[in-house]
Structure 1
């Protein structure tokens, strides 16, 4: 490769697009609206350049101007929903939960692995009294959440280590959170043995999570996980087992019968 070719490959082909995406990321990670000055500082750009980006994104409803600055606009929700429902299993998820005598009363969520995090795509609240869970589009470290561990269950220990060793020690979200790989690998071994992952107040105080992996419906679809969050006071062994069994039934209902996993389950 010539120096000229290498230089062209190293250039950003669309700087304005890249900067716009970075601006959206800043707003997504913020706890509230951001001012033009804060956005310019975060992007490392002049305020005039940042203002032009904001004008273009505001015109397309990707962001909106409020009294305290800028926040994400309604079109981001439309796009996020469109991303999730392109997957057959997410479209059918709500009906499967409603048909389950157990899950219809629970807070059930769908997540996929995004880097080292569990990214939440769909949420069925049913009659659940738990109202926290994780908002759509939010994420939790895969090492700490039940859905994240369900997504990691299909990896061997070497693959988990390669993926997560740079993240250790893990953040201490509660006093029960594992902070090292050895503790996580022990939890994953138990999860593989019983067929479901458990988060015993390790990502949220007072909340127990149970989750199972869901194989992709079609080639190119992501690996998913189904998880339930419940108050720790209600999470006795019998209820946890009942929820885990209902999640396994949901996975069977959401598995493509023509996939390898579907053919295996039908035997």
Structure 2
């Protein structure tokens, strides 16, 4: 491969990343080819190479291409270094040391959550979540807190446009009416609760925090169900709200809105 061909290949891959970054619902091979002006056969080779390195993902039922986990991990590792994200770290540490739970900072991406920071407890259960990792919002406490803060009570268009609600455990919410009710409860009390909806034996309490850019970030405390119950979900909710208020770039949502 000549240097010119190598540069051309890199340029095409970068154009695909930019294009898919602006189209979260994904695009077909034909749509990508038309948008870039590159033939379908050439674009298929580009996408195959990117797919092999997890920079793009192809949805099974629709065959549409979307940003893959490697691209998201790079993006959110970069974002994790931002001053706003970094400003929450000490607060996460304080809540984790006080509670003995794993504490996360996350943001909403469509109907999923992406983890921006994580503090493990010194002792006790350590969750398998990773910075840059993605989970469906409706089965996580932090996802429900962010959905409640982001969506208007009467505006469920985002949820209606999403795929069927995936069940992770027998406790997962799988219908929109139940999720809408749960989001209403979250708004009323100021924090969300995951009652073993993502993983059996694990509970989570979470709050949404508005930062100076107008975006919402989520703080959550996760651990074994008996430990979360012993601490008390109200106590955890209050601790997380206090942590959110202490971060210099934030304005807590929920009760404080």
State the TM-score, normalizing by the size of structure 2.
0.68
CA distance change for structure 1 residues 184 and 77 in 2, over 3 Å: closer, same or farther?
closer
C-alpha deviation, 1:52, in angstroms: 10
Deviation of 1:240 after TM superposition, in Å, equals 2.2
**Are 1:214 and 1:255, in contact at CA under 8 Å, matched by a contact in 2?**
no
Q: 1:157 to 1:76 in 2, by over 3 A?
A: closer
SS in 1 for 2:132: coil
CA distance in 2 between counterparts of 1:101 and 1:203 reads 20
Partner of residue 146 from structure 2, selected from 151, 155, 164: 151
Q: Distance in 1 between matches of 2:236 and 2:121?
A: 14
CA contact (8 A) 2:92 2:104 kept: no
Match of 2:164 in 1: 169
**For residues 233 and 199 of structure 2, what CA distance do their matches in structure 1 show?**
17
Q: Which residues of structure 1 form unaligned runs of 5+?
A: 1-13, 24-43, 63-70
CA radius of gyration, larger in: 1
Q: Give the Cα separation in 2 of the matches to 1:168 and 1:76.
A: 20
* 2:78 aligned residue: 82
Native 8 Å contact 1:147 1:225 kept in 2: yes
Tell me how many residue pairs correspond in the alignment: 213
What secondary structure, in the 3-state scheme, does the structure 1 residue paired with 2:181 have? helix
The answer for unaligned runs of 5 or more in structure 2 is 1-10, 21-39, 56-67
- Kindly indicate whether residue 217 of structure 2 is the aligned counterpart of residue 227 of structure 1: no
Q: Who is 1:125 aligned against?
A: 120
Distance 2:74 2:44 in 1: 29
Cα pair 1:133 1:229 within 8 Å, conserved:
no
Q: How far apart in 1 are the matches of 2:181 and 2:44?
A: 52
Is the partner of 1:156 in helix, strand or coil?
Answer: coil
